[in-house]
Amino acid sequence: MTRQDISENQVKNVFLGIGSNLGKRFLNIEKAKSLLMENKINFISVSSYYETPSWPNPKNPKFINIVLKIECSYKPKELLNLCKIIEAKLGRRKSPKNSPRVCDIDIIDFNGLVLKEKLKLPHAMMHLRNFVLIPLFEIQKKWVHPIKKMDIKKLILSLSNKDIRSIKQI
């Protein structure tokens, strides 16, 4: 067995974002968490719930979001596939981009890995999203963006005042 093989099986620290704006939003998130745990995902930290207007159409139902710090032995694409399976189990269907959804699970950061394939890591838009940055700051105050090399405080301060005021911890 090579050294690379050993490192592939090591536990990785990963940040996931979970959101819901259809149905029983809190219950949808709790079910997603339960299904993650059933698949050998260990939670290190879980943020509070945050409510934000829907983007880009604030007329859609508001979102509830959380961020999890997890440990897992999955590879990035395996974890992405698991997230898609869980979303489908909870009732997510193919729909236009940014439309309301029962459950959305995003990989925010995978052990600091940078990928620029179909799966982009860290999440391509995470540095612009209050519903990712603020809960992430709650559970990981010293997090640094793997590409931008900016700490989370600077990323939050780069958000607009509107974005900072529109998020509500529940």
Domains of the chain, start order: 3-169 (3.30.70.560)
Give pLDDT tens digits for 68-116. Answer: 999 999 999 999 999 999 999 999 988 887 789 999 999 999 999 999 9
pLDDT for residue 168 is more than 50: yes
Q: Using pLDDT thresholds of 50, 70 and 90, give the confidence band for residue 9.
A: low
- Name beta bridge partners: 52: 63
Distance CA 133, CA 140 (A): 10
Name the helix (H) or strand (E) containing 31.
Answer: helix 25-38
Q: What pLDDT score does 98 carry?
A: 77
Q: Using pLDDT thresholds of 50, 70 and 90, give the confidence band for residue 5.
A: very low
CA distances from 161 to 79, 85, 157, 164 (A): 34, 36, 9, 5
Q: Do 67 and 87 touch, CB atoms closer than 8 A?
A: no
Eight-class DSSP state of 35? H
> Tokens standing for 95?
């729909």
**Whole-structure pTM value:** 0.91
Q: Considering only CA atoms, which of 167, 166, 128, 170 is closest in space to residue 145?
A: 128
